[in-house]
Structure 1
Amino acid sequence: MSSASGMLATMAVVVLFSGIVQGYLTPLLPEVGKRLHLGPVGLNNIYLLFQVACTVLTPLLSRLGDLHGHRRLLRISLAMVAGGSLLIAVWPSPATLAAGVALQGAVVGFFPLLVGILRSRAPEQNRKGISLLVGVLLIAVGVGGLVAGALSERHAMAGLWTAVPVAALAVVAGLLLPDSDTPRGGRFHYGAAALLTSGLVAFVLVLAQGGTWGWTSPLTLGLAVLAAVVLAAWILVERGAAEPLVSVRMLGNPRLAIVSGHTFCAAFGTIGFFGANALFLASSPAETGYGMNLGPQAIAAVSLAMLAAGFAGSALTPRLTARSGDRTVLALGGALTALGFLGMILFHDTLPQYVTCALLVGLATGVFESITRSVSAEVVDAHETALAVGLNELALSFGAAIGAAVIGMFFAAHVQRGTAHIAESGYLWAWGACAAMAVAGTGLAMRYRAPRAEGATPVRQSATSGDLA
């Protein structure tokens, strides 16, 4: 790749594919499920399979990239996601849908591996590049859903082809990207990988199915105990390993811990509430006493507007950090999130009021996703970049999953008597929980100290690294 700008443009194609994959199936699955004779349980299992695949593959692909080359693992990840997308489109069936979404779970490797290449090849572009890629990702998620919905208006299965053309472009982009030049080598700890995978699978199953099974049921509690025991065993194995899968020292890095904790708190509301946001917009005031009575296209438009606000937030982040510092921008992301959800509690009677608050949450999403990915890449040595970003991605996934589970608990506890409708109080509790977690994330952000403050050597940034090309 002849220039940093050309490399960023090529990376943007890969991230575009990532966003499309994460956005296009959601509006299609209800109708596709009917065509494939999949009921609500079957469709929920498809979502669950994707969550499990993402959780398992995040640390594995990131670590393998640090060991054996970021470009090599990026190409493998691209092949997996492209293959899964093609499989779903060409042979739609319950079996191929399950296999396809499992392969698509490798999409979680894109961002950590791309950041590994970026930090190695153009460290002066790290902040600018990450902000650009986050913005493209957010917009692509919204566009993917809109395009898939439009293609499926005449034929439900047509939308399954949404990701295929973009997959071809992304595979070509992966062939054009350079490799990182960070030192690599070492042994992949398969025993630690097995323990980590088992523990994470059990943990995700508890989060995803606890509401269905019952949070105090023997199955839920048993899996929770199993996850805790297996993950504890994994930590013991890692402590004694000469070449650990995930360095326990990295998990003890105070800066990475603070950033990942902030990511968890921010994702709890901004991403965890995304599905519930559509429910509120679709609710009829005549039936429930609240809501905006919007149809699918209008809801998609609001969602896209939120993601566009996220793009703006991501684009502004490098400028803000150059002027105010990382800690201030981390705190700003949390404060904007809290303000947005507090606004929903107070102002949700009219569409302009509610959308204004939703756009504030969207803006905060772009800020926190950009700053946390940038900082997590810079607080570790270059040869651990992909894994550090991968751990932050795990924090984001867990925050979103736990947020969705907690919101689901509030909804289940506040059902209008004699109906299946959620009472307005359920939303008030949900918005309050999201705001409280955002405040907690802001508190964590205020404890962050930049490496320079403790004598460490930060990644050098050019004078213009705060500007988007």
Structure 2
Amino acid sequence: MTSAVGRGRGLIATMVVIVVCSGVVQGYLTPLLPVVGGHVGIGGVGQNNLYLLSQIAFTVLTPLLSRWGDMWGHRRLLLVAVGMVALGSLLIAARPTTATLAFGMVLQSAVVGFFPLLAGILRSRSPEHGRVGMSVLVGALLLSIGTGGFVAGTLSDQHALAGLWTAVPFCALAVAAAVALPTSTAPHQGRFNSPAALLLALGLGALMLVLVQGESWGWTSAPSLVTVAAAFVLLIAWIRVEQRSAHPLVDLGMLRNPRLAVISAHTFCIAFGAIGFLGANAVYLGTAPDGDGSGLGLGAQAISLVSLAMVALGFLGAALTPRLARAVGDRAVLSIGGCTGAAGFLSLCLFHSSVPQYLAGALVVGLSTGVFEAATRTLSVEVVDEAETALSVGVNEMALSLGAAIGAAVIGALWAGHTTAQGSVTGAGYQWAWAVCAVAAFGGAAVGLLFRSSGDTPTPETGIAHAGGNA
């Protein structure tokens, strides 16, 4: 292992390759869903449910990969996660069907482990570059999400399914980069809590199922009520198992740290709308107005350009976040991010009948996304001791995934209750979804005001340096 890759900028540059793969994987399918959905026979609600399935997998895989990383080594688990993502991407590209899309997207959800595992390596190998590194990685993630979508949309305009191959070469590069990374110096510890993992997966699955099927079953019907009860029983049992375990899957005791609790709650609220609505964004842009339905009727490449513009604003937000935090403090940054997202969604509620009108609100949401991702990922590292870095980032990533999953599920449920006879989502369905996202973002802003820091700069104990003017 060369010292250039083992520390400093060489380490960060190698990690950027892996994060770019993560961004491409998270972004390339979004503009393709309308086209690919039509090819395999999946409507708008079904496309949102595919996105929901991936968010459920995100939520379940986050604690699994983080815990396994603590047990068996961050680099080793990173190689496993990158391998899963590569396999899922190849499966989707080689044989696109409803089943392979669903299974492949579940495998691709292993990208959720990249940040906790990379954070563990970065903090142990190059702690003086911690805040710089996290800002660079978040910026690279956001830009690659948009770039991946643009490349996929351009390829898809030439051939409907060609864009599905977009992620494959990036996955190959990520595998090579993961091999080149050094191992973290954190000691391996603990053992895997299988009962907790099973209870968590079943509980979240039941919760998402009722959110997806509640409208068709009837919210007060026996299947809905039984499924809700099962979800709560399973999740309460999971909490009890975790509390009694010497080796918990998710250390819920970490949430007794009030700063981490606030960060996680803020992450949940903002991710509910900013991430949860991404699938809905592509569906609205790609749906041609029909009868009482609503949409803009854009092609895959045009959808990808909108997504690229959103993440470009997100990159700007991520880049400005360290300076903004120095100027006004971390608490104000969290609140500003939430209020900005809410303003974007309210704009979409009022103005969405043309591409320029839609862009005005969507770009504000993109800016908010960059601010919140950079701020929460950095703070989740800084508010705990070094030995808890991966766990802390994992808790925050789980809050993000859970918020996004529930957001996508709620949007799907709202859509299911507002469709035309032809199956298109009505304008009221979209407006209800945007309004709920705005409320969640305002909630995140309010939670952000509860954050208390020991100062607006990282403390020496965290080992994290200021980002400064450039990376």
Task: Return the TM-score normalized by structure 2.
Answer: 0.88
* Corresponding residue to 1:299 among 294, 298, 303: 303
Q: Residues 72 and 212 (structure 1 numbering): CA distance in 2 closer, same or farther, change over 3 Å?
A: farther
Q: How many residues align?
A: 466
Paired position in structure 2 for 1:435: 438
Alpha-carbon deviation of 1:289?
9.4
Paired position in structure 2 for 1:466: 468
1:320 and 1:329 in contact (8 A); partners too: yes
Paired position in structure 2 for 1:313: 317
Alpha-carbon deviation of 1:307?
1.1
Moved more, 332-341 or 397-406: 397-406
Alpha-carbon deviation of 1:263?
1.0
* Corresponding residue to 1:367 among 371, 379, 382: 371
Q: 2: CA distance between counterparts of 1:116 and 1:401? A: 25
1:56 and 1:201 in contact (8 A); partners too: no
Q: 2: CA distance between counterparts of 1:333 and 1:108? A: 22
Q: 1: CA distance between counterparts of 2:405 and 2:246? A: 33
1:450 equivalent to 2:453? Answer yes
Q: Residues 47 and 127 (structure 1 numbering): CA distance in 2 closer, same or farther, change over 3 Å?
A: same
Paired position in structure 1 for 2:236: 232
Q: 1: CA distance between counterparts of 2:411 and 2:163? A: 30
Paired position in structure 1 for 2:191: 187
1:115 and 1:386 in contact (8 A); partners too: yes
Paired position in structure 2 for 1:242: 246
1:139 and 1:307 in contact (8 A); partners too: yes
Alpha-carbon deviation of 1:21?
1.3
1:329 equivalent to 2:337? Answer no
1:379 and 1:458 in contact (8 A); partners too: no
* Corresponding residue to 2:277 among 273, 276, 281: 273
Q: 1: CA distance between counterparts of 2:131 and 2:442? A: 25
Q: Deviations over 1:407-431 (max 9, x none)?
A: 3444444557x77555544444333
Q: Residues 208 and 65 (structure 1 numbering): CA distance in 2 closer, same or farther, change over 3 Å?
A: farther
Q: 1: CA distance between counterparts of 2:374 and 2:139? A: 8
Alignment of 1:9-158 (within 5 A): 9-29=13-33, 31-32=35-36, 46-47=50-51, 49-92=53-96, 96-158=100-162
Q: 2: CA distance between counterparts of 1:322 and 1:276? A: 35
Moved more, 244-253 or 225-234: 244-253
Three-state SS of the structure 2 residue aligned to 1:184 is: coil
Q: Aligned partner of 2:404: which letter?
A: A
Root-mean-square deviation (Å):
3.0
Q: 2: CA distance between counterparts of 1:337 and 1:92? A: 34
1:71 and 1:174 in contact (8 A); partners too: yes
Alpha-carbon deviation of 1:56?
1.7
Q: Residues 205 and 388 (structure 1 numbering): CA distance in 2 closer, same or farther, change over 3 Å?
A: farther
Q: Which residues of structure 2 form unaligned runs of 5+? A: none
Q: Deviations over 1:351-400 (max 9, x none)?
A: 43432222111100000011111111222222222222122122222222
Q: 2: CA distance between counterparts of 1:346 and 1:42? A: 26
Task: Return the TM-score normalized by structure 1.
Answer: 0.89
Q: Which residues of structure 1 form unaligned runs of 5+? A: none
Alpha-carbon deviation of 1:143?
2.1
Q: 2: CA distance between counterparts of 1:286 and 1:81? A: 37
Alpha-carbon deviation of 1:234?
1.7
Q: 2: CA distance between counterparts of 1:282 and 1:35? A: 14
Q: Residues 406 and 83 (structure 1 numbering): CA distance in 2 closer, same or farther, change over 3 Å?
A: closer
Q: Aligned partner of 1:440: which letter?
A: G
Three-state SS of the structure 1 residue aligned to 2:384 is: coil
Three-state SS of the structure 2 residue aligned to 1:152 is: helix
Identity among equivalent positions (%) equals 57
1:77 and 1:106 in contact (8 A); partners too: yes
Alpha-carbon deviation of 1:23?
2.1
Q: Aligned partner of 1:301: which letter?
A: L
Alpha-carbon deviation of 1:92?
4.7
Moved more, 348-357 or 172-181: 348-357
1:403 equivalent to 2:407? Answer yes
Alpha-carbon deviation of 1:15?
0.9
**Greater relative contact order (CA < 8 Å, ≥ 6 in sequence):** 2
Q: Aligned partner of 1:55: which letter?
A: T
2:53 and 2:102 in contact (8 A); partners too: yes
Alignment of 1:175-214 (within 5 A): 175-214=179-218
Q: Residues 60 and 335 (structure 1 numbering): CA distance in 2 closer, same or farther, change over 3 Å?
A: same
Q: Aligned partner of 1:431: which letter?
A: W
Q: Deviations over 1:51-91 (max 9, x none)?
A: 33322211100111122211111011111111222233345
1:211 and 1:408 in contact (8 A); partners too: no
Q: 1: CA distance between counterparts of 2:193 and 2:206? A: 20
Moved more, 21-30 or 328-337: 21-30
Q: Residues 206 and 253 (structure 1 numbering): CA distance in 2 closer, same or farther, change over 3 Å?
A: farther
Alpha-carbon deviation of 1:11?
0.8
Moved more, 438-447 or 320-329: 320-329
Q: Residues 284 and 97 (structure 1 numbering): CA distance in 2 closer, same or farther, change over 3 Å?
A: closer
Alignment of 1:283-294 (within 5 A): 292=296, 294=298
Alpha-carbon deviation of 1:212?
4.5
2:44 and 2:424 in contact (8 A); partners too: no
Three-state SS of the structure 2 residue aligned to 1:179 is: coil
